[in-house]
Amino acid sequence: MRLDQFIQKNYPEHSRAFWQKMIASHAVLVNGHPQKAHQEIKISDKLEIFWPNEKPVEKTLPDCPLEIIYEDLDLLVINKPAHLVVHPAHGHLTGTLIEQVAAHCGFVPEEFGDNIRPGLIHRLDQDTSGALVIAKNTLSQNHLARNLAERKFHKKYLALVVGRPKPLEGLIDAPLGRAHNDRRKVVISMDEGSKPAQTKYKVLESAPFEGTLISLVEIELLTGRTHQIRAHFVGIQHPVLGDTKYGNTHLNELAKEKLGLDRQALHAWKLGFPHPENDKMLNLVAPLPEDLKEAIKKLGMEFRA
């Protein structure tokens, strides 16, 4: 196994990028010598890590209760609130949803073998709310992950976007790749390595807001790429309202001031997938959170989810 992969696997509270920087700065030695991140290591090798001065991390759980949509012996589906990180990562080592779920379910990490994110099938961005499924055992996790890879999951979202997309109902079929000037961003791209991405949408309502229109859009993901909805809609000049990474800064500030919206207006609304025990379809709905209900109401829309 590669050196960076091995260390990240054993110290998952830090990202692989963190460990690559540590290795590059010679803070990791193999048999007393610095190595490259891609160096393959052997069982007999001696690793030394010279840790930076950091305060120990105290484990904390989110102070918001779990909103459970569905639960049985095999899985749990929750309505994730906005602003909550799904799993530990560099910069968010504790206070995550997966810790809260593990405490609720009584997860024992060893039951999931080498999996550093026990039970997690898919994820939602920190500031996206909505339906998220977590497996309670490895058999369920493997079954659900396979169905997700085979596109047997059906995901529908609700979003407030700037403007009124035309046509009012359509398909965004555009490959996505990393932006050249900011690798943290995803953009529509024809570069080698970009991945096919398809997003269906339907405009449900539109309303005036500060000299423009805001539209409530129902969205169905046909593929599951990172930041797919956000990147596709900014790519067609209709960014998600409140999206600080891809959206309109001025309108985002107005949305916060006048609509009480302090995050991207994106909600994983409906989720359907085959149950791991019998392959019967589960079709679940995550109710809209209060902040989106209030924003829709202040815009004068009559939508009732």
Kindly state whether residues 42 and 94 are assigned to the same domain.
Answer: no
For the CA atoms of 182, 183, 187, 193, what is the dihedral angle to 10 degrees?
140
Out of 121-130, 197-206, 215-224, 253-262, which region has the weakest mean confidence (pLDDT)?
121-130
| Entry field: residues in the chain | 305
Handedness of CA 100, 280, 287, 238 (dihedral sign): positive
Whether 217 contacts 165, CB under 8 Å: yes
DSSP 260: -
Mean pLDDT of 268-282: 96
Contact 93/130 with Cβ under 8 angstroms? no
Whether residues 18 and 91 share a domain: the answer is: no
Q: What is residue 53's predicted lDDT score, i.e. its pLDDT? A: 66
Task: Provide the CATH number for the domain around residue 35.
Answer: 3.10.290
Show the 3-state SS of 127-181: CCEEEEEEECCHHHHHHHHHHHHCCCCEEEEEEEEECCCCCCEEEEECCEEECCC
Clarify whether residues 21 and 107 are in a common domain. Answer: no
**Assigned domain for 217 exists:** yes
Inside any domain, residue 255: yes
Q: Which of 19-28, 65-74, 105-114 has the lowest mean pLDDT?
A: 105-114
Say whether both 146 and 35 belong to one domain.
Answer: no
- Is residue 116 scored above 60 in pLDDT? no
Lowest mean pLDDT among 47-56, 74-83, 110-119: 110-119
Residues 180 and 32 in one domain: no
Q: Is 62 among the domain residues?
A: no
User: Domain residues for 39?
Assistant: 3-49
| Catalytic residue set | 125
Q: How many domains does the chain have?
A: 2
pTM greater than 0.85 (yes/no): no
What's 197's domain CATH number? Answer: 3.30.2350.10
> How far from each other are the two terminal CA atoms of the chain, in whole angstroms?
49
Mean of the per-residue pLDDT values of the chain: 89
- Residue 89's SS3 state is strand
Q: Is residue 26 part of a domain?
A: yes
Of 280, 284, 287, nearest to 155 by C-alpha is 284
Q: What is the mean pLDDT of residues 68-74?
A: 94
Answer for the pair 160, 216: CB distance below 8 angstroms, yes or no: yes
| 275 assigned to some structural domain | yes
Judgement on whether residues 101 and 242 belong to the same structural domain of the protein: yes
Query: Can you tell me the distance from the alpha carbon of 110 to that of 272, in angstroms, rounded to the nearest whole number?
Result: 29
Distance CA 222, CA 228 (A): 10
Tokens of residue 79, six digits: 């309505």
79 and 18 share one domain = no
As a whole number, mean pLDDT of residues 183-212 equals: 94
Whole-number Å distance between alpha carbons of 300 and 297: 5
**84 and 39: one domain?**
no
